[in-house]
Amino acid sequence: MYFRESSGAMIVCNASNPRDLEMAPEWKSCVSRYLDGIPVILLINTMNVESWENEKSEEIDRFCTENGFTAWFKVSPKAKEACDKAVLALINVIVSNELNGNADESLPIDPTPSSKCLCQ
């Protein structure tokens, strides 16, 4: 991993591999060990998953809150779904942090009140 002087990070998990999600907190911890306070967004790659159950959204919301992720996105690089939204959201947080001169990880865009997922 390379993250010297980074202002934000994305951790990518494969929805078809439950072990990836289990490892995500460890990967985030690794980033936070060197760069505490930067926003970290979780990307869940669903390109190999036939259907993604909406019930999982609450579970992922809870997971992200418990593990300190700024937000999460369901993405599919193959189908070009939500990747641009995820990158723009992270950029918005980084720019906001730089302008405010703090490490506030809150997103300057409004997520849906019931979810940390900004996929919609």
Domain ranges of the chain: 9-100
Cα separation, 40 vs 119, in Å, equals 16
Res 1: pLDDT: 63
Res 108: pLDDT: 42
Res 39: pLDDT: 93
Q: Which two tokens stand for residue 2?
A: 């390379």
Residues 9-100, CATH architecture: 3-Layer(aba) Sandwich (3.40)
Is residue 73 within 8 Å of residue 89, measured between CB atoms? yes
| Radius of gyration for the alpha carbons in the chain, expressed in angstroms and rounded | 14
- 69-104 pLDDT per residue, tens: 999 998 887 777 788 889 999 999 999 888 887 654
pTM: 0.77
- Name the stretches of the chain with pLDDT < 50: 104-114, 120
Q: Which two tokens stand for residue 41?
A: 């967004």
Res 100: pLDDT: 83
Cα separation, 116 vs 70, in Å, equals 8
